[in-house]
Amino acid sequence: MNELQLWWLLLLPVFFGVGWVAARIDMRQVVRASSRLPRIYLTGLNHLLHDELDQAIEAFLSAARENPATLELQLALAVLFRRRGEFDRAIRVHQELLAREDLSEERRSEILAELALDYHKAGFFDRAEALYAALQQTERKHWALAQLLEIYQVEKDWRKCIDVATRLARDDSPVWRVRLIHYHCELAALALTAERWDEAGHHLEQARAIERHAVRPILLEGERHFLQGRFEAAFEEWLTLERIAVEHLPLAIDRLMAVAERCGWQAKLLKRMRQWLHRYPQLDLVERYVEFEARHGEPATAMRLLQGLLRQQPSLIVLDEYLLLVARHVDPAWLADVERVREVVHGYVQRLARYRCTQCGFKARRHLWRCPACGQWETFGPARVIEIDAIAGH
């Protein structure tokens, strides 16, 4: 094996690191081109392998000027810079490449797309937006629109999100429906905060026109009634979740309790809470139920209910609340012991109970409609979960 081929072997890990662009690179063509590589290229690779990126990039750029056939390698290199967070270097390479006069239209738009991504990832949204807009005239139109949507989501420009998503949603796929529902809900939530009730109602209607039984519009519609003092309507709206998505009731439970107390419907709500618990003994629901039963019902009923739950489906969450009740009724001689045990269990529950993204596993203390880690909508379950392996210390 001669020295030149050996260099390419050394370069292989670089290509594996480059990700999707590498997948588009015709390696045979690159290897063919390697046989024509000038000496300066090897110098550049040498710098790269020694992590001397400044010298490497200079060598590659100078090689590029002398040898136009090395385009693929430089594109890969620039993507590598971008992935390492060295955006200025990626931008420089792409700008230099764009300055060449021998580019086909297809090549030019490919490099423009890469440059747009450099700006996007570097947080220069204005520049990225301008390039994505220019790419609307090319066959990369849909890709560019999808990237624009990402920017508008980060900027929370929900109106533009609706506009772009509507253009992209050519089919009736659930992914687009879910996104559009949330964009309308985001606008509705903003309008509610500003007390623009009709505007909120309008956005919620649009969200519901997409999917009649979507959960978030129901929660917000209840909120709209609640904030305007229409407590019965709010109560009824939230209770529709009983039929549609009982597991989402914990997201409305605080409001339901507030309305029940205000309107004297405590007994009515308690009866329902007991039923819900048998179907979904979730953390928030168990906690609120015990609290509400203690305030407005009979603690003995709560004791019996939790004992039943512990037998049916033992869980740390239920045990935690059960110990709280036991501590209130136990013989004073045992109180200190019970309290100590409860403290341990409660500590675990508080520390480990999290909302969790089902897509990427990101954990959060409060429920989120959009995952900040993977950017997906509605991937958080409506209940906090405790991961048992975390308790075991794995």
Stretch that binds Zn ion, among 55-63, 250-258, 324-332, 358-366 (CB under 5 A): 358-366
- Residue 307 in the binding site for Zn ion (CB under 5 A): no
What gap in Å lies between CA 305 and CA 240, rounded to an integer?
24
Structure tokens at 265: 């419907």
- Of 69, 246, 330, 373, the one binding Zn ion by CB under 5 A: 373
- Of 144, 204, 326, 357, the one binding Zn ion by CB under 5 A: 357
CB 365, min distance to Zn ion, A: 15
What gap in Å lies between CA 185 and CA 377, rounded to an integer?
12
Is the dihedral angle over the CA atoms 243, 247, 248, 249 positive or is it negative?
positive
- Of 183, 362, 377, 380, the one binding Zn ion by CB under 5 A: 362
Stretch that binds Zn ion, among 32-40, 137-145, 277-285, 349-357 (CB under 5 A): 349-357
Q: Residues binding Zn ion: what is the number (CB under 5 A)?
A: 7
Site string for Zn ion, 41-80 (x = CB under 5 A): ----------------------------------------
Structure tokens at 20: 């999707």
Stretch that binds Zn ion, among 59-67, 72-80, 247-255, 373-381 (CB under 5 A): 373-381
Stretch that binds Zn ion, among 31-39, 106-114, 116-124, 357-365 (CB under 5 A): 357-365
- Of 131, 270, 371, 386, the one binding Zn ion by CB under 5 A: 371
Strands, E, within the chain: which ranges? Answer: 355-356, 363-364
Place of tokens 């618990």: 277
86: helix, strand or coil:
coil
H-helix or E-strand containing 54? helix 53-66
CB 379, min distance to Zn ion, A: 5
Stretch that binds Zn ion, among 74-82, 291-299, 300-308, 366-374 (CB under 5 A): 366-374
- Residue 200 in the binding site for Zn ion (CB under 5 A): no
Nearer Cβ to Zn ion (346/370): 370
Nearer Cβ to Zn ion (239/373): 373
| Interior/surface letters 186-203, b for 16+ CB within 10 angstroms, e for the rest | bbbbebbeeeeeeebbeb
Q: Is 263 annotated as a binding residue?
A: no
Distances (CA, A) of 394 to 315, 346, 364, 389: 19, 20, 19, 6
Compute how many other C-beta atoms are within 10 angstroms of the C-beta atom of residue 185: 24
Q: Which of 81, 68, 67 has the alpha carbon at shortest distance from 14?
A: 81
Long-range contacts of 59-64 (CB under 8 A, 24+ apart): 60/93, 61/92, 61/93, 61/96, 63/37, 63/38, 64/96, 64/97
- Residue 133 in the binding site for Zn ion (CB under 5 A): no
Nearer Cβ to Zn ion (251/371): 371
- Residue 359 in the binding site for Zn ion (CB under 5 A): yes
Helix and strand counts by DSSP (H, E) for the chain: 23, 2
Nearer Cβ to Zn ion (328/365): 365
- Residue 360 in the binding site for Zn ion (CB under 5 A): yes
Is the dihedral angle over the CA atoms 134, 137, 140, 143 positive or is it negative?
positive
Q: Is 360 annotated as a binding residue?
A: yes
- Residue 372 in the binding site for Zn ion (CB under 5 A): no
Place of tokens 């588009």: 24
Going by the annotation, the residues of the binding site are 357, 360, 371, 374
Residues near Zn ion (CB under 5 A): 357, 359-360, 362, 371, 373-374
